[in-house]
Amino acid sequence: MLFRRLVALISVLALLTSCVVAQDNSKDNLFTITVAAPTLAKDVQVRYFLSGEFQGFYSSTTANGKGTKIVIRTDHESKAATGFKAIAYAPGCQFVTISVDDLSATRDGDFQCQKLPTTLLQGRVPVSALQGKDLQIEVLYVCDWAPQFFNIGRGAVSPFVLAKVAVATDGTFSVDMPDFAADPLWSSLSNEATLRFYLVDPGTGGPVNELAAPAEFAQGHNLKVATSYPGELQFTVLSTSAQK
C-alpha cells in the first residue's frame, strides 16, 4: 500500500513539473509590446514577421480589451522563432518599428504615440455610386515599404486602416489625413506608400466598391501619399466590387 502511494505521489509531482515546464516554454514563445497611455493597445495595429528554422512567417494582430499589452506568439510549425520584426501604427501617430535579431536577448518592445500633423483631403465620388445608401469611405495605408523592412522581397503585407468617414448625399467627403512625410522614417524608409479608398457599408463594414484616384495623383488605382492635396479630388468607381 505504501509503495502504491509513493508511486502515485511521484506521478503527481512529475505531472506538475511537466506543467510548469510547459508554462515556462510558452512564456519563451511570446513577444510583448507595451503601449503607453493614453493610447489603448486595442487601437494599435501590428504587422509582424518571424524568422527562424522555418521559411519565415508573416501575420498581423491587434489586442483585445482595454489593456496596455499586445502579446504575440513567436513560434511557427512547432518551432521557436529566433528573430522578430514588427511595424506598429495607431491612427494619427508616427509608425513604430521593432527589430530583434536575437529573441534570446529580449522579448519586449514599446509603442508610444508621437502625433503627426494632419492635412485635409477632400474628395468626391459619383452620386450614382451611392445608390441611395448611407455609405462610408474607408481609407487604407498600403505599406509598400514593409517587405523591404521585413526583408521578404515583394511579399504582400496587409494595409493599415487609417479612417472611415461618411459620404454626403452629393458624393463629397473629407478626412484629416496624417502628414506621413513628417514621420522621421519618411526620408529613409516609409516614403514608398499609397492610399487605397473603398466605399463600405457601415452596417456590415464590408467593401462595396474600390475607388480609383485621379490619374494625375495616382499610382495604379491608389492615391500617392503627399504632404497636401489640391482642391477636391474626383474619384471614380471601379467596375467590379472590391475585396480587401
Give the chain's domain count.
2
Helix or strand run (H / E) with residue 111: strand 108-111
How much is the pLDDT for 24?
43
How much is the pLDDT for 132?
80
* Closest C-alpha among 69, 67, 62, 60 to residue 34: 69
Same domain assignment for residues 104 and 137: no
67: helix, strand or coil: coil
* Closest C-alpha among 73, 64, 3, 80 to residue 32: 73
128: helix, strand or coil: helix
- The answer to whether residue 90 sits within a structural domain is yes
Distances (CA, A) of 183 to 16, 113, 116, 152: 50, 12, 7, 23
Q: Which ranges in the chain belong to alpha helices (H)? A: 2-28, 146-150
Residue 239, all three cell numbers? 467596375
Residue 41, all three cell numbers? 493597445
Quote the pTM value. 0.83
Same domain assignment for residues 136 and 232: yes
Same domain assignment for residues 169 and 64: no
Distance CA 173, CA 175 (A): 7
- The answer to whether residue 244 sits within a structural domain is no
95: helix, strand or coil: coil
Same domain assignment for residues 95 and 181: no
Helix or strand run (H / E) with residue 34: strand 30-35
Cα atoms found within 13 Å of the Cα of residue 123, Cβ hemisphere only: 28
Same domain assignment for residues 103 and 202: no
Q: Provide the domain limits for residue 229.
A: 118-237
Q: Which ranges in 47-171 belong to alpha helices (H)? A: 146-150
**Domain containing residue 43: CATH number:** 2.60.40
Residue 226, all three cell numbers? 503627399
126-159 confidence digits (pLDDT tens): 988 888 888 999 999 999 999 999 988 776 789 9
How much is the pLDDT for 39?
94
Instruction: Provide CB contacts within 8 A for 156, sequence distance 6+.
Output: none
Same domain assignment for residues 107 and 80: yes
Same domain assignment for residues 80 and 49: yes
Question: Which of 55, 88, 111 delimits the end of a domain?
Answer: 111
Contact 83, 106 (CB under 8 A): no
Same domain assignment for residues 62 and 150: no
How much is the pLDDT for 150?
92
Name the stretches of the chain with pLDDT < 70: 1-27, 64-66, 155, 239-244
How much is the pLDDT for 22?
37
